């Protein structure tokens, strides 16, 4: 029997107003939603969109201080710029394609050129307030999910010129959201590093930078791990800082008009190319490009007229030129690096010598593993990776086509054992979620060279599954989730995997790609309702809610959770614990403490924490 098709008439055509469209398709405006576990989740984009406007005022020479307050669910931002013209306050936050940044004379090199930012914040907030202070007059407007609730008349004020935005993200859009302080801390610091003379007071703490990107790299790297002092180069509309470390991988922090382009773009690609070219010419040797860039840590910030980004969230620069009628980005960056870096190396022979030694070391290491690498790649193909070790998904991070929201959400679960991987495989979303199954416990690779990655079958196959052998440019999954049992063996596997990533692919962790999957410890249910609990406190609350002796199940391992139940734990409400490196964390010291020889310090740490676990268990009992 033929399937009946609904009538397609004039009544089928709908026109959504601005707020309905933003709320229906939030991913188009702020990228992925998330609960705040990832640094690029939507709630941070909302904060950034508001602060970006303040930064644009500062760049135009108005306002040297910004006040930011973030509580559990409320955000307040106050700048001391010119203030939104009072007659346009409501329009600027509630009419798409309305704003001052279309006037290139007012905002020459702004980030927010699309007239969308604060409108998205407004539409996606349960409460949104804008107040403009301008020449002794003030205007207030308040909204709920984009609907205006208070359009106050202009009144006199003694407040300094500027704009204040207050908002509360909508918890029906951002489910179970929470702000992670370290992510906000990084966001605020980046604004200061990129804007000389700017002070941001964030939750009572003062943030200020004098040396720009030099300060950024100083904060992001361990001084003892640098092979030579940070090279800091500044020119008109461009700033660069760089050094080499003792760690594997390339690590870049790139910015356009103050926007952190986490996925790089034409400016970052130009920097990578320019450094190799300049180094080759300086030393008069045709070094392999990978040897020059190996272990580099660098940052670039450029100012561009009318920048073109590859998405609304502006994480990757697509502009080929620095201005509509200006030079290409490649030429602009290359010309600057060629002169500035060459001059620096000629003036600092000690740095030039240290850089050469680092390049020669990378060259030796590359040649040492060349033969092993070839054999390892052949073994990976023979292992029939995509059918045995890896149950792949259909959409990947670097696909050139497909749904943008799906690409941003691609996830690889790393599991141990057939039962756990079987449950996740049966319950996963085959479009965006892949499963990699470990065989036994991974090797403790602390102190090993990258040679072990190719010699160890599990490490080699995992590296190929992620496609990170030559860096993160080809990374196939946005999220790498370690999914192990919450027992001693599971914790040990977590440590061994984290050691692998931190030792050989630290950029994965620094860039916020690695997580721990949180699964419920208890199931509390009666005939009418089932509640899954992730802690003893949640279990007690569930018991109190259900009353009358509910059935309580303690999950000992992932394999005990049925596929039908697992769907709830790896779907929209999936709880992920991000692996975050604090600014004062030294990877080498961290690995030495946890994975090195059993020192008295580590023994004391284990004993102290065992006491805490015992006390918690006794309290729960």
CA distance 113 to 56: 11
Given this model, what pLDDT does residue 236 score? 92
Q: Is 69 in the same domain as 192?
A: yes
Tens of pLDDT, residue by residue over 433-446, are 999 998 888 889 88
Question: pLDDT tens digit string along 316-359?
Answer: 888 888 888 889 999 999 999 999 999 999 999 999 999 999 99
**Do residue 497 and residue 435 come from a single domain?**
yes
- Judge if 550 and 494 occupy the same domain: no
Is residue 114 situated within a structural domain? Answer: yes
| Residue 136 and residue 49 share a domain | yes
Q: Is the dihedral of CA 44, 512, 269, 191 positive or negative?
A: positive
What pLDDT was estimated at residue 107?
Answer: 47
pLDDT in tens, 55-87: 888 888 899 999 999 998 999 999 999 999 999
50 and 183: one domain?
Answer: yes
Cα separation, 262 vs 246, in Å, equals: 23
Q: How many domains does the structure of the chain reveal?
A: 4
The CA-based dihedral angle spanning residues 414, 418, 422, 424, taken in that order and rounded to the nearest 10 degrees:
-30
Q: Which two tokens stand for residue 533?
A: 């609990």
pLDDT at 127: 97
Q: What is the CATH number of the domain that holds 476?
A: 3.40.50.670
- Domain assignment present for residue 595? The answer is no
Residue 455: per-residue pLDDT: 87
Shared domain check, 200 and 61: yes
Of 406, 404, 377, give the one whose Cα is nearest residue 394.
Answer: 406
Q: Are residues 531 and 505 in the same domain?
A: no
The list of the chain residues with pLDDT below 50 reads 1, 102, 104-107, 113-114, 401-402, 404-407, 612-614, 616-617, 619-621
Return d(Cα 552, Cα 522) in angstroms, integer: 7
Residue 614 falls within a domain, yes or no? no
Q: Which residues contact 106 (CB under 8 A, 6 or more apart)?
A: 60, 100
Which two tokens mark 539?
Answer: 């279990």
What is the radius of gyration, based on Cα positions, of the chain?
26
In 236-376, at which residue ranges do the beta strands (DSSP E only) sit? 238-244, 251-256, 259-260, 296-302
From the CB of residue 475, how many other CB atoms can be counted at a distance below 10 Å?
A: 21
- Supply the range of the domain harboring residue 445: 370-519+557-585
What pLDDT shows up at residue 6? 60
- On whether the CB atoms of residues 44 and 183 are closer than 8 A, the answer is yes
Q: Are residues 418 and 533 in the same domain?
A: no
Domain membership of residue 609 (yes or no) is: no
Same domain? 33 vs 78: yes
- 3-class secondary-structure state, position 13: coil
Q: How many CA atoms lie within 13 A of 435 on its CB side?
A: 23
Same domain flag for 155 and 181? yes
This prediction has a pTM of 0.81
Residues 6+ apart with CB under 8 A from 185: 202, 583
- The answer to the question of residue 598 being in a domain is no
Is the domain of 268 the same as that of 310? yes
Nearest CA to 125 out of 140, 144, 142, 147 is that of 144
Same domain, 100 and 180: yes
Q: Of 498, 532, 554, which residue sits at a domain end? A: 554
Residue 8 lies in a domain: no
CATH of the domain at 33: 3.30.565.10
pLDDT (0 to 100) of residue 176: 85
Let me know if residue 2 belongs to a domain.
no
pLDDT of residue 220: 86
Looking at the domain assignment, is residue 194 inside a domain? yes
**Is 250 exposed, middle or buried (CB count within 10 Å of its CB: 0-12, 13-18, 19+)?**
middle
Final residue of a domain: which of 182, 208, 234? 208
**CATH code assigned at 329:** 3.30.230.10
Angle at 595 between CA 591 and CA 596, to 5 degrees: 95
From 250, 255, 204, 212, select the one nearest 230 (Cα to Cα): 212
Query: Whose CA is closest to 81, among 154, 136, 160?
Result: 160
């Amino acid at each position: 029997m033929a399937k009946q098709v609904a009538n397609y008439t004039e009544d089928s055509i709908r026109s959504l107003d601005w707020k309905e469209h933003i709320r229906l398709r939030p991913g188009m405006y702020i990228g992925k939603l998330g609960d705040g576990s990832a640094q690029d989740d939507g709630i941070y984009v909302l904060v950034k969109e508001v602060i970006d406007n303040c930064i644009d005022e500062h760049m135009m020479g108005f306002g040297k201080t910004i006040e930011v307050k973030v509580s559990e669910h409320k955000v307040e931002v106050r700048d001391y710029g010119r203030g939104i013209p009072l007659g346009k306050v409501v329009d600027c936050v509630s009419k798409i394609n309305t704003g001052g940044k279309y006037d290139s004379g007012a905002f020459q090199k702004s980030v927010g050129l699309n007239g969308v930012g604060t409108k998205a914040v407004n539409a996606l907030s349960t409460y949104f307030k804008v107040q403009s202070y301008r020449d002794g007059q003030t205007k207030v407007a308040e909204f709920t999910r984009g609907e205006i609730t208070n359009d106050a008349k202009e009144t006199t004020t003694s407040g300094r010129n500027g704009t204040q935005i207050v908002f509360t993200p909508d918890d029906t859009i951002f489910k179970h959201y929470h702000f992670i302080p370290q992510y906000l801390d990084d966001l605020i610091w980046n604004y200061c590093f990129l804007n000389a003379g700017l002070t941001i007071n964030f939750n009572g703490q003062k943030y200020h930078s004098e040396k720009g990107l030099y300060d950024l790299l100083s904060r992001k790297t361990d001084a003892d791990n640098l092979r030579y002092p940070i090279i800091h180069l500044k020119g008109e509309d461009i700033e660069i800082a760089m050094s080499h470390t003792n760690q594997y991988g390339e690590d870049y922090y790139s910015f356009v008009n103050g926007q952190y382009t986490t996925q790089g773009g034409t400016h970052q690609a130009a920097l990578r190319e320019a450094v190799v070219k300049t180094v080759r010419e300086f030393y008069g040797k045709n070094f392999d490009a990978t040897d020059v860039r190996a272990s580099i840590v660098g940052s670039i910030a450029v100012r561009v007229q009318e920048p073109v980004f590859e998405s609304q969230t502006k994480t990757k620069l697509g502009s080929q030129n620095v201005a509509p009628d200006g030079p290409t980005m490649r030429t602009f960056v290359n010309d600057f690096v060629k002169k500035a870096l060459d001059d620096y190396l000629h003036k600092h022979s000690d740095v030039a010598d240290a850089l050469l030694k680092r390049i020669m070391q990378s060259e030796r290491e590359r040649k040492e593993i060349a033969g092993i690498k070839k054999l390892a790649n052949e073994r990976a193909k023979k292992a029939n990776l995509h059918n045995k070790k890896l149950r792949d998904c259909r959409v990947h991070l670097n696909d050139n086509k497909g749904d943008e929201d799906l690409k941003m959400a691609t996830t690889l679960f790393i599991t141990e054992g057939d039962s756990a991987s079987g449950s996740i495989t049966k319950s996963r979303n085959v479009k965006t979620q892949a499963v990699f199954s470990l065989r036994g416990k991974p090797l403790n690779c602390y102190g090993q060279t990258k040679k072990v990655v190719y010699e160890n079958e599990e490490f080699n196959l995992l590296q190929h599954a992620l496609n990170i052998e030559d860096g993160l440019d080809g990374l196939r999954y946005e999220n790498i989730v370690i999914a192990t049992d919450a027992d001693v063996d599971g914790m040990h596997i977590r440590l061994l995997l984290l050691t692998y990533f931190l030792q050989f692919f630290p950029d994965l962790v620094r860039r916020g790609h690695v997580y721990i999957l949180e699964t419920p410890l208890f199931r509390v249910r009666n005939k009418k309702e089932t509640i899954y609990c992730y802690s003893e406190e949640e279990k007690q609350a569930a018991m109190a809610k259900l009353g009358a002796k509910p059935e309580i199940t303690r999950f000992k391992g992932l394999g005990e959770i049925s596929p039908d139940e697992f769907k709830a734990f790896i779907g929209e409400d999936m709880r992920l614990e991000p692996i975050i490196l604090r600014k004062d964390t030294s990877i080498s010291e961290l690995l030495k403490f946890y994975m090195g020889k059993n020192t008295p310090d580590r023994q004391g740490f284990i004993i102290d924490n065992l006491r805490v676990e015992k006390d918690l268990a006794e309290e729960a009992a």
